[in-house]
Structure 1
Amino acid sequence: MSSLTAKLLTIGCISLLLLAPLSAIRGLNGERQAYRAQALNDIAAGTAAAQQIVGPVLVLPCTKRPLPAAEGGAAPQTAADAGKSCTRYILPETLEVESELAHEARSRGIYRATLFTARITAKGRFQLEPAEASGPGYQTEWGRPYLALGVKDPRGIVGLPRLTWDGDNTAFEADTRLPAIGAGLHAKLDDVGGGSHAFAVEITVKSLEGIGFVPVGKATTVAMHSSWPHPSFSGRYSPEKREVGAEGFSAWLSTSYFASNIQQAFERCAANPAAAQEILANSLAVSLIDPVNVYLQTERAMKYGFLFVLITFAYLLCTEAVSGKAMHPVQYGLIGMALAMFFLLLLSLAEHLGFFNAYLLASAACLGQVCFYVAGLLQNRRLSAGFAAVLASLYGVLYVLLSSEDYSLLLGSSFLFVLLSLVMAVTRRVDWYRLKPSAKPTAT
């Protein structure tokens, strides 16, 4: 076996051994991320998780009772026939939702979360047909109507919600009394006759994650505004128009019940309460994400850890070939451990200083440590400066890849191509059998 083959095998084994500390650091990052998730859950337990607003929906309770035989009715066949529910669910003809989202920081130990407060105004009108009093063989008994408003996590309700119905203020009470839309509120109304009825709801809710709206109106518009510059839209609908910038975002949605089939969903839910998820799935949601999650960024950085070590070792091997100086495997191992230590420093510093500051300090510390060690090994200023430049470039390129998530593949592949081209250009005259430069060809 040639000395070069033995050297390559030894470096390969050292590289594989370095997978152990890299994997351990990656596991530690996962543990710290789990601790953060638990801290956020603890904060959410005292506030509110993601919110979803459904409604308002006008409910007209009614029961059909058979008339006595003397009055042309028929005896009920079963107990259920004696009082059959015919409750009607009336959706708004028009619904306009305006939401302003403010934010504040909450902390649990070293972990921080952003709590959002949504000030919501929903207004519109209902169009009612005259209520039927009776029919052939039965009589309709109408109960007291009420307005139901679904709020996924009522713990997040701030203050007293307000309802204005036909110009009069009406108080809300707990529970929607409507399984189709889940938890929330309801407001009892006086007898409502046919015609148009205007309403306006004002409610403020807190959320640790985001908020969603179900467009229950026959014609619904939703407008959201916030000073938070990092929204993430999800759900069955996307905003028709959005403006996102450093000062915040605005988003607008306009849809109709032809697109949502929300009326049919309510009718199916009346017959089968298990179909409630079909209603809740019709939503426009926005999550106000934290783009500086240091654990996710550290995780992305560590995906390049093994490649980082291999490129450094390859450069050192090329340096040996060019300079004629041989490095011991122990020295490769120490340099590899120093490179792995960078990721541990990055993780520990990022929890306190933020990712950018942590990356700057960790890379500067490891760059100084490794370059000081390699300079003592090579005893050559030019080669030592070249190694320092290459290692600094690696740290710089890695940060660019982490910052440019959408173009990381393109930038990474381009960098590797350029790096390979440089290695091939520098070592094209190296006699790899002797691991030293070959003589320059003489002119003929």
Structure 2
Amino acid sequence: MKNLKSNIYFKVGIIIFLILILMIPTSMVENLIHEREGVQLTAIQEVSAKWGKGQTVSGPVLSIPFDKYVRKYNKKDSIEELIKLKEWVHFLPETLKITGRIMPEKRYRGIYEVVVYDSKLKIEGNFTDLDFQKLDISSKDVHFDKATLNFGINDLKGIEKQVTVNWNNKNISFNSGTATKEVILSGIHAVVPISTDSITAHSFTTEIDLKGSQYLYFTPVGKTTDVSIRSNWNTPSFTGTYLPDEREISEKGFTSSWNILHLNRNYPQAWTGRTYNIDASSFGTDLLLPVDNYKKSYRVARYAILFLVLTFITFFFVEVMKKVFIHPMHYLLVGIAIIVFYTLLLSISEHIKFNLAYIVASILTISLVSLYTIAILKSKHIGFLLFGILLIMYSFIFTIIQLQDYALLIGSLGMFIILCIIMFYARKIDWYTIKLGK
């Protein structure tokens, strides 16, 4: 047994076995991070469901019903019948201008922050060239008296007051729902008077006070679409199909503007039926919280095997070079301390900023491992040496998670340097004759 205790290959095998065993609680920590992230998402959804979900304002779309006649062969009577069907033709505006202001605020569900907002939107534009002949529709088959102006709104709960539209200088109230689900599934509509003259222009102006959470998107349905948004939120993310042509972000908030042409999207100004989907072209602004501690915690947890391997290698080299013996149980306890670091980091970061949480959790873990080393080896020199090595290692990982774009490069270079140091100190060791302990 004494020979087995001092056998270097047996010790290496034990170390590898312990690392593999410790990867089990490491995976449990990663699952815990995902679970807590899921709880956060549930909290966001609960607040959003009561306040208003993320909003996408689509339209306006002018939808007009018409009669379509199709021939159908009746096998029973051996005759052709003329069947009348009701279909819809959809027109998009010639010009569309949207100006808006977003007033966000933070709400809390337990320990979780949720971004909600009030917004004031002014939407104006005009419809021209309602040419039915281009779509092979006869004017006599069109029900002009049932023309509707439709706006898409994801969550109607977010509408704060009655919405009216000034249509050709006439105020008309909107009703809930859309006249047809062919273009817009959820929204509001208003029955508007349409001239039978296809060259007559129809102008519109409306204002919508809309509540929502997380994001506000729009669809570029105008032949020319101009959108201008301003807010006092200073961490926006511009996403969707189009990025702003102009944007300015400061500590006081942001302003952004888009100019989009009908040539930039994959649907025309007029069509019939369910031919096209306008939602795929949406764009807008996400109101991001400055820090996502769960994603950062998960990134740190991915380096768990690196922490374990480097710490155990340090212990192993101490054994080899200082001629001391460290029991596998000591390795196991130190490994558990390293795993507990991730739960400390996760729990502390839910209450304070992530960077500060990382520093606190790191100092606690490094101090615990160093003091434990001093206690078992009766050597302050080795304890302080291990403290310095762990401090460098934790600082290195902290640097990596701050550099998202260069994380792989810096990580690869760091690993290369660590390997060089290990090979430098291992170059003169005679691995065939060495025995652990004195």
Give the shorter-chain TM-score range: 0.7 to 0.9
Provide the residue aligned with 1:294 in structure 2. Answer: 293
| 1:39-80 Cα shifts (integer Å, max 9, x gaps) | 222222212322211111223444579xxxxxxxxxx97463
* Cα distance in structure 2, aligned partners of 1:217 and 1:345: 52
Query: Cα distance, 1:164 vs. partner?
Result: 2.4
Query: Cα distance, 1:129 vs. partner?
Result: 5.4
Is the CA contact 2:122–2:208 (under 8 Å) kept in the aligned structure 1? yes
Is the CA contact 1:51–1:152 (under 8 Å) kept in the aligned structure 2? yes
- Determine whether 1:255 maps to 2:254: no
3-state SS, counterpart of residue 113 of structure 1: strand
- Determine whether 1:42 maps to 2:43: no
Alignment counterpart, residue 54 of structure 1, candidates 28, 39, 58: 58
- Determine whether 1:360 maps to 2:367: no
Q: What code does the residue aligned with 1:213 have?
A: F
Alignment counterpart, residue 13 of structure 1, candidates 10, 17, 29: 17
Query: Cα distance, 1:363 vs. partner?
Result: 1.1
Provide the residue aligned with 1:195 in structure 2. Answer: 200
Alignment counterpart, residue 28 of structure 1, candidates 23, 28, 32: 32
Is the CA contact 1:231–1:288 (under 8 Å) kept in the aligned structure 2? yes
How many residues align? The count is: 418
Q: What code does the residue aligned with 2:188 have?
A: L
- Determine whether 1:170 maps to 2:172: yes
* Cα distance in structure 2, aligned partners of 1:141 and 1:200: 24
Instruction: Provide closer, same or farther for how the CA distance between residues 119 and 436 of structure 1 changes in structure 2, counting only shifts above 3 A.
Output: farther
* Cα distance in structure 2, aligned partners of 1:393 and 1:89: 64
Provide the residue aligned with 1:211 in structure 2. Answer: 216
Unaligned runs of 5+ in 2: 70-78
* Cα distance in structure 2, aligned partners of 1:137 and 1:315: 86
Q: What code does the residue aligned with 1:114 have?
A: V
Unaligned runs of 5+ in 1: 66-75, 438-444
Is the CA contact 1:94–1:217 (under 8 Å) kept in the aligned structure 2? yes
Q: What code does the residue aligned with 2:126 have?
A: R
3-state SS, counterpart of residue 10 of structure 1: helix
Provide the residue aligned with 2:127 in structure 1. Answer: 126
1:28-427 aligned at under 5 Å gives the runs: 28-63=32-67, 78=81, 80-81=83-84, 85=86, 87-128=88-129, 141-179=143-181, 180-192=183-195, 194-263=199-268, 267=271, 270-271=272-273, 273=274, 275=275, 278-427=277-426
Instruction: Provide closer, same or farther for how the CA distance between residues 141 and 423 of structure 1 changes in structure 2, counting only shifts above 3 A.
Output: closer
3-state SS, counterpart of residue 278 of structure 2: helix
Identity over the aligned pairs, expressed in percent?
A: 29
3-state SS, counterpart of residue 350 of structure 2: helix
Q: What code does the residue aligned with 1:98 have?
A: T
Is the CA contact 2:152–2:186 (under 8 Å) kept in the aligned structure 1? yes
| 1:156-192 Cα shifts (integer Å, max 9, x gaps) | 2222334223344332221221311121112233454
Query: Cα distance, 1:412 vs. partner?
Result: 0.8
Query: Cα distance, 1:318 vs. partner?
Result: 1.6
* Cα distance in structure 2, aligned partners of 1:126 and 1:140: 17
3-state SS, counterpart of residue 118 of structure 2: strand
Query: Cα distance, 1:332 vs. partner?
Result: 1.0
Is the CA contact 1:239–1:253 (under 8 Å) kept in the aligned structure 2? yes
3-state SS, counterpart of residue 108 of structure 2: strand
* Cα distance in structure 2, aligned partners of 1:392 and 1:298: 18
3-state SS, counterpart of residue 405 of structure 1: coil
Query: Cα distance, 1:354 vs. partner?
Result: 3.2
* Cα distance in structure 2, aligned partners of 1:174 and 1:309: 60
* Cα distance in structure 1, aligned partners of 2:13 and 2:25: 20
Query: Cα distance, 1:245 vs. partner?
Result: 4.8
TM-score (norm: length of structure 1): 0.84
Query: Cα distance, 1:434 vs. partner?
Result: 4.5
* Cα distance in structure 2, aligned partners of 1:380 and 1:359: 28
Query: Cα distance, 1:314 vs. partner?
Result: 0.8
TM-score (norm: length of structure 2): 0.86
302-311 or 20-29, which moves further after superposition? 20-29
3-state SS, counterpart of residue 262 of structure 1: coil
* Cα distance in structure 1, aligned partners of 2:128 and 2:389: 73
Q: What code does the residue aligned with 1:345 have?
A: L
Instruction: Provide closer, same or farther for how the CA distance between residues 298 and 385 of structure 1 changes in structure 2, counting only shifts above 3 A.
Output: same
* Cα distance in structure 1, aligned partners of 2:411 and 2:169: 63
308-317 or 220-229, which moves further after superposition? 220-229
**Aligned-residue CA RMSD in angstroms?**
3.0
Q: What code does the residue aligned with 1:117 have?
A: D
Instruction: Provide closer, same or farther for how the CA distance between residues 162 and 434 of structure 1 changes in structure 2, counting only shifts above 3 A.
Output: farther
Provide the residue aligned with 1:70 in structure 2. Answer: none
| 1:404-442 Cα shifts (integer Å, max 9, x gaps) | 1221111111111111222223333333345489xxxxx
* Cα distance in structure 2, aligned partners of 1:139 and 1:311: 79
* Cα distance in structure 2, aligned partners of 1:116 and 1:385: 52
